[in-house]
């Protein structure tokens, strides 16, 4: 086995035993990126020198017996998480040369743990999209089929993990943007409870929806990376002081006897769901039942309204958050304009891509005088009802089982001219963001064309432990997470 093929758990064991060094591990990943990324396009910025310097520091920590489970482990970062001294573009022309003067909370946590940052990954511009085709920098290709999307908006992070170009990655999930690309790329992706991971230093899209989450090769690695980034942060007013359990020790315990799986009847009746997805989910539920879990019929009646509510709330918050990009304080500025209003108008027209402009316009309209009550207020009321739906459901079950996406990864270009179809691709994921509950995608099968399919596991607020337990036991009984895309250099 090549070094870059190791999991975080395996690499940590070898590092601790001093059988390998972090510098060797990091060089293997950087060589992998150099060999593959011109075909995949997962990275916007590769931080070779920074990564090797961090690897040497990690080796020093290990030599002194100060290692943590993440010490010396190469990690990739979605390019909307601020990294001091390392370019952060949000895959947008308007921030193409922005270098943050500070680190996000999660980056501070990773540095404290001794992790190695190998680069910044591609994404849909300002996280607005479900395919990573809306990047203002480049298109990312799915490692399983270069003609297909990797999902979005954290497509670069998911593709990098799937292609062994890092051991884990951070993404952000506003409506499914960690779980959906994880599903399309055959890796594990977790959206934590809102407030479990600080958003300080995360460039905002929808502030009440955004959550940073880990993408890894398996559930055990995901628990380790989650433990490394979670925690209370006084710099984030929405950060929760709820204690963090040692999730990794929990998931290595007993099976699923007594665990109740909620099966939403609405998700089974959704139009447009691919037959291969339905079949993979049914088989996955069967596996969980053989492990001792019990299925419970539940109802989430507001599911059919969730997409409408989300695509009012998210653009409204985006309209407010992106107003700061005006060409005055930082970022791109159209210097051909002399008047302030003309400069701001031209800067935003040239600096933002079509999808970002579309959502800003939608949000500004919905927040305007005369329309606020009809749109934003009504959507917020629906959101409250969605939260109540989940509360009632979790009175009957421990976790909820659902698809991640209605279809496997589609060909590049299929949805670029049909934004509505792209929005409907989030139908199974965005309810969790509206409710603030945690959710994970774990590989559970493949389509007829060999593309990965993900199983979504949802739990109640701050109960990520239940998700890790179910996912880990499922992975112990199956080998879907062990499958790798066949790449030319393998």
Indicate which residues carry an active-site annotation.
78, 153, 177
> What does the alpha-carbon distance between residue 382 and residue 395 come to, in Å, rounded to a whole number?
20
> What does the alpha-carbon distance between residue 437 and residue 461 come to, in Å, rounded to a whole number?
5
> What does the alpha-carbon distance between residue 439 and residue 294 come to, in Å, rounded to a whole number?
19
What does the DSSP 8-state code read for residue 482? G
Burial readout 12-37 (b: 16 or more C-beta within 10 A, e: otherwise): bebbeeeebbbbebbbbbbebbeebb
The answer to whether the beta carbons of residues 204 and 190 sit under 8 Å apart is no
Phi, psi values for residue 262, rounded to 5°: -85, 125
Cα 260-261-266 angle, rounded to 5 deg? 140
How many CA atoms within 13 Å lie on the side-chain side of 352? Answer: 25
The answer to whether the beta carbons of residues 190 and 59 sit under 8 Å apart is no
Listed in sequence order, the residues at least 6 apart from 476 whose beta carbon sits closer than 8 Å to its beta carbon are: none
The 3-state DSSP class for residue 74 equals strand
The 3-state DSSP class for residue 134 equals coil
């Amino acid at each position: 086995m090549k070094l870059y093929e190791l999991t975080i758990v395996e690499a940590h064991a070898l590092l601790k035993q001093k059988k390998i060094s972090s510098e060797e591990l990091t060089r293997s990943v950087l060589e992998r990126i150099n060999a593959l990324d011109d075909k995949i396009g997962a990275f916007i910025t590769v931080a070779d020198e920074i990564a090797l310097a961090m690897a040497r520091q990690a080796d020093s920590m290990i030599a002194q017996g100060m290692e943590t489970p993440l010490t010396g482990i190469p990690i990739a970062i979605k390019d909307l998480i601020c990294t001091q001294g390392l370019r952060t573009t949000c895959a947008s022309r308007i921030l193409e040369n922005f270098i943050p003067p500070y680190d996000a909370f999660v980056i501070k946590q990773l540095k404290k743990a001794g992790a190695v940052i190998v680069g910044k990954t591609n994404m849909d511009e300002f996280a607005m999209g479900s395919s990573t085709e809306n990047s203002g920098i480049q298109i990312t290709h799915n490692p399983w089929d270069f003609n297909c999307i990797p999902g979005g908006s954290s497509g670069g992070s998911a593709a990098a993990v799937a292609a062994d170009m890092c051991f884990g990655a951070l993404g952000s999930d506003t409506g499914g943007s960690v779980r959906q690309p994880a599903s399309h790329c055959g890796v594990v992706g977790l959206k934590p409870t809102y407030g479990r991971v600080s958003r300080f230093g995360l460039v905002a899209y929808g502030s009440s929806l955004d959550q940073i989450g880990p993408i890894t090769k398996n559930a055990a690695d995901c628990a380790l990376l989650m433990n490394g980034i979670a925690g209370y942060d006084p710099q984030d007013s929405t950060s929760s002081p709820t204690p963090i359990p040692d999730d990794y020790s929990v998931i290595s315990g007993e099976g699923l006897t007594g665990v109740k799986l909620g099966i939403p009847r609405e998700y089974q009746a959704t139009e447009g769901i691919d037959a291969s997805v339905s079949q993979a989910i049914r088989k996955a539920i069967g596996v969980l039942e053989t492990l001792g879990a019990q299925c419970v019929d539940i109802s989430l009646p507001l599911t059919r309204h969730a997409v409408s509510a989300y695509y009012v709330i998210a653009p409204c918050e985006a309209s407010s958050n992106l107003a700061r990009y005006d060409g005055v304080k930082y970022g791109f500025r159209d210097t051909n304009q002399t008047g302030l209003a003309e400069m701001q108008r031209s800067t935003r027209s040239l600096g933002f891509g079509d999808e970002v402009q579309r959502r800003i316009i939608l949000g500004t309209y919905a927040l305007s005088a005369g329309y606020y009550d009809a749109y934003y207020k009504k959507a917020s009321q629906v959101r409250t009802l969605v939260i109540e739906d989940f509360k009632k459901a979790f009175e009957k079950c421990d976790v909820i089982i659902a698809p991640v996406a209605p279809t496997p990864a589609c060909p590049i270009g299929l949805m670029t001219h049909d934004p509505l179809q792209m929005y409907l691709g989030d139908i199974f994921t965005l309810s969790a963001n509206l409710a603030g509950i945690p959710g994970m995608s774990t590989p559970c099968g493949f389509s007829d064309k060999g593309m990965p399919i993900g199983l979504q596991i949802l739990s109640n607020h701050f109960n990520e432990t239940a998700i890790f337990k179910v996912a880990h036991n499922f992975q112990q009984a199956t080998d879907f997470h062990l499958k790798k895309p066949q790449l030319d250099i393998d």
